[in-house]
Amino acid sequence: MTTEFWFNTKTHEVEEGKVSPAVDRAGPYATRDEAAKAIETIKARNAALDAEEAADA
């Protein structure tokens, strides 16, 4: 089984496996480094979706 990494949105720590409740996790990510950058990734995805929605309006 492949190891998954999660970003805990409450503690801002990377976790290996499903340690915390789902409501407090973002992921899964393939690597610890990707999980550590979860906030930046989420912000970038949201910005891209906002731009896409604005273009469709």
pLDDT band at 13 (very low <50, low <70, confident <90, very high): very high
- pLDDT at 24 > cutoff 80: yes
Tokens found for residue 41: 């990734």
Secondary structure letter of residue 44 according to DSSP: H
Q: How far apart, in Å, are the Cα atoms of 18 and each of 3, 28, 43, 45?
A: 10, 9, 23, 23
- pLDDT at 4 > cutoff 80: yes
- Domain region containing 45: 5-56
CA atoms within 13 A of residue 46's CA, in its CB half-sphere: 6
Secondary structure letter of residue 20 according to DSSP: S
- pLDDT at 30 > cutoff 90: yes
Number of domains comprising the chain: 1
